[in-house]
Amino acid sequence: MIINYKRSVVKVEEVWSNRKKKLLKNADISIDTQLLLSPAKEPGLKMFKDSQALEVCVPNYLIDVRKEEDVIYQQIHKSTRADIRKAMEKDQLIYSETDNPTNDEITKFSSFYNSFARRKNIPLCIIDKLFEIRDHDSLIMTYVKDQQDNLLCASMLLVDKNHKQLYGLYGVSARLSTNTQKERNLIGRANKFLQWKEIKLAKKRGMDWYNFGGEVYQTKDKGVNEFKRRFGTIKGLDRRVYIPNSLLGRIYVFLIYQKWKKNFNTCQTFKYTGSGVLYLPIIMLESLPLPFI
């Protein structure tokens, strides 16, 4: 799968495949992605001097959905299991999922997410990227509502058909719009319920892995890491190589490096050989607060 989209003035090309595939380099920056399940390297940054490419490896959180559902559920922390049960039995929350959502559904999700993102001061949803993934039959939208039809939380998931993985692209809740602790507690349970349903969805679709995504390094949001760990996750590495194809692409790579070097102590430099083995979109560009995006 090859998707092309723009982030402001930057043309981006992302490629995922289960075999060696040459990057087309029709954009300012090409992205070579890989999920390392048994990482032989440490998290960190690596600069490739010859190509001026940048590799970023970040620990992630994975659920092995090849296991029996009861086994997966019992590995979840007991307090999280209690919240999931309460969401289903007492709150009677309603879960829904949509394969390849329509333009209108994607637009409404984007509006919901961007309202949340602005209040959290994080980058906005790239709606054209969602359209592209949808057009490759690789996008699932999930959401949870209460009995009064209020939207509590929602996600956009990318389906990696080649390597049987379900990856969370965007997740959003109405938590920041609530006024009481009772409402916040309800939305917290809804979010855990949504994650459990997505784990079951990955298993139902014949996937091997449910990927929560990379570790959060911002101090104010580190509670997200504990949220993921409480689902009984294991660690892998999310690896992504950013390959510049133009002057604008080189500026982009430099800004990515400036963002990530704050989280790692070292940055190695060596010759780039070009992996070509492309698996899953890992360190999503949406997380990078670049000034021109």
Tens of pLDDT along 92-141?
999 999 999 999 999 999 999 999 999 888 889 999 999 999 999 999 99
Question: Based on the domain organization, do 72 and 37 belong to the same domain?
Answer: no
User: Using an 8 Å Cβ cutoff, are 107 and 158 in contact?
Assistant: no
Predicted pLDDT of residue 286: 36
Instruction: Grade residue 23 by pLDDT with cuts at 50, 70 and 90.
Output: low
Instruction: Grade residue 41 by pLDDT with cuts at 50, 70 and 90.
Output: low
Predicted pLDDT of residue 271: 42
Which of 235, 258, 274 terminates a domain? The answer is 235
Predicted pLDDT of residue 270: 41
Predicted pLDDT of residue 274: 42
Q: If you ran DSSP here, which 8-state letter would residue 265 be given?
A: S
Question: Based on the domain organization, do 112 and 245 belong to the same domain?
Answer: no
Domain membership flag for residue 292: no
| Dihedral sign, Cα of residue 158, residue 129, residue 217, residue 195 | negative
The domain that contains 185 carries what CATH number? 3.40.630.30
What is the pTM assigned to this prediction? 0.84
- How far apart, in whole angstroms, are the C-alpha atoms of residue 267 and residue 223? 27
- Buried b / exposed e along 20-35 (16+ C-beta atoms within 10 A): eeebeeebbbbbbbbb
Question: Based on the domain organization, do 147 and 183 belong to the same domain?
Answer: yes
Q: How many domains does the chain have?
A: 2
Question: Based on the domain organization, do 212 and 228 belong to the same domain?
Answer: yes
Question: Based on the domain organization, do 263 and 184 belong to the same domain?
Answer: no
H-only helix segments in 124-180: 127-135
Question: Based on the domain organization, do 15 and 97 belong to the same domain?
Answer: no
- How far apart, in whole angstroms, are the C-alpha atoms of residue 157 and residue 101? 11
Question: Based on the domain organization, do 142 and 226 belong to the same domain?
Answer: yes
Which whole-number Å values give the CA distances from 174 to 85, 126, 183, 186, in the listed order? 20, 20, 9, 10
Predicted pLDDT of residue 140: 98
Predicted pLDDT of residue 131: 97
Alpha-carbon radius of gyration of the chain? 19
Domain membership flag for residue 226: yes
Question: Based on the domain organization, do 165 and 275 belong to the same domain?
Answer: no
Domain membership flag for residue 15: yes
Host domain of residue 152? 61-235
211 has a pLDDT exceeding 60 = yes
Tens of pLDDT along 233-285?
998 887 888 999 999 999 999 988 888 887 775 555 444 344 333 223 333 33
The per-residue pLDDT of the chain, averaged, comes to 84
